[in-house]
């Protein structure tokens, strides 16, 4: 629990909180992926990474837009541009600097495999029609992200010695940031009781099996699931990287808040 958290009281407040958690994850990872534009290892990947970034920012924008309507905020940009790092609810995994291509792929794989199971379950659970409609639409694209990153994990692992080493390093480095995906804080539990979120521990084993089988096929070593895990970002306690990311993302919009930019 951070300095500013309050547990939502109404169902609508819970829904907004969940929308923002999902959206923040996607906006921040989309931002990191968008940093590749024009710098990819080959043209096909310039296209693919831009495509995934575009999907993620698009998903975030739709989720924010719905939250804005519920909360009577001006629009989706309110959340992206006019909140500080302590307000952002994304997990730390997505805010880490973009790293090399192996790091980008390993992170995309960890995140999209988690999203795959999460969305699959949410679609079965969420009663709010608008929210559910979005989840279904975005799920199709998540399947592509998972396929894209999984194929590249295999290519790295079973490619050359260098690619194997690089992606192994990436997984080792990223591992301590995977814990936050599966945290069930008080807010998540209450939201799950209200059919607005799901108990992620229900399918953690399935997720692990997908990770294990992929890494095994890629001839990689699965890091220790029981190691130290970073925690706190969902409640505004981020890494040092988010502040810089937001400084860049928000500066123009905040410098001229009265200007029309849409």
| 59 burial via Cβ count (<10 Å: 0-12, 13-18, 19+) | buried
CB of 190 to another protein, least distance (A): 29
CB of 99 to another protein, least distance (A): 11
| Closest CB to another protein among residues 16, 126 | 16
CB of 54 to another protein, least distance (A): 5
CB of 253 to another protein, least distance (A): 4
Question: What Cα–Cα distance (Å) separates residue 84 from each residue in 71, 88, 242, 243, 246?
Answer: 18, 7, 10, 8, 8
d(CA 224, CA 176): 9
| Closest CB to another protein among residues 159, 223 | 159
CB of 206 to another protein, least distance (A): 26
| Closest CB to another protein among residues 191, 246 | 246
CA nearest to 150, candidates 242, 215, 201: 215
d(CA 84, CA 2): 14
d(CA 161, CA 170): 14
Q: Which residues contact 139 (CB under 8 A, 6 or more apart)?
A: 116, 119, 120, 123
List of residues contacting another protein (CB under 8 A): 27, 31, 34-35, 37-47, 50-51, 53-54, 57-58, 60-61, 64, 76-77, 80-81, 100-101, 154-156, 158-160, 162-163, 166, 248-249, 251-253, 256, 258-262
| Closest CB to another protein among residues 240, 258 | 258
């Amino acid at each position: 629990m951070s300095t500013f958290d309050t547990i939502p009281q109404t169902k609508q407040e819970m829904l907004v909180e969940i929308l923002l958690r999902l959206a923040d994850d996607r906006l921040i990872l989309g931002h990191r992926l968008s940093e590749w534009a024009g710098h990819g290892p080959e043209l096909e990947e310039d296209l693919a990474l831009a495509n995934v970034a575009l999907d993620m920012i698009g998903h975030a924008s739709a989720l924010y837009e719905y939250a804005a309507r519920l909360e009577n905020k001006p629009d989706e940009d309110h959340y992206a541009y006019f909140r500080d790092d302590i307000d952002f609810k994304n997990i730390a995994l997505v805010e880490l600097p973009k790293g090399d291509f192996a790091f980008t792929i390993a992170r995309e794989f960890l995140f999209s495999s988690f999203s795959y199971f999460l969305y699959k379950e949410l679609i079965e659970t969420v009663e709010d029609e608008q929210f559910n409609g979005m989840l279904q639409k975005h799920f199709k694209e998540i399947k592509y992200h998972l396929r894209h990153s999984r194929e590249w994990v295999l290519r790295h692992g079973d490619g050359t010695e260098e690619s194997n080493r690089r992606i192994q390093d990436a997984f080792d480095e990223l591992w301590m940031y995977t814990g936050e995906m599966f945290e069930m804080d008080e807010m998540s539990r209450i939201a799950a009781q209200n059919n607005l979120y799901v108990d992620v521990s229900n399918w953690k084993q399935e997720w692990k099996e997908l990770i294990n089988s992929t890494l095994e096929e890629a001839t990689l070593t699965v890091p220790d699931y029981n190691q130290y895990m970073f925690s706190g970002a969902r409640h505004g306690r981020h890494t040092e990287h988010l502040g810089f990311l937001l400084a860049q993302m928000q500066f123009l919009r905040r410098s001229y808040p009265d200007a029309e930019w849409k």
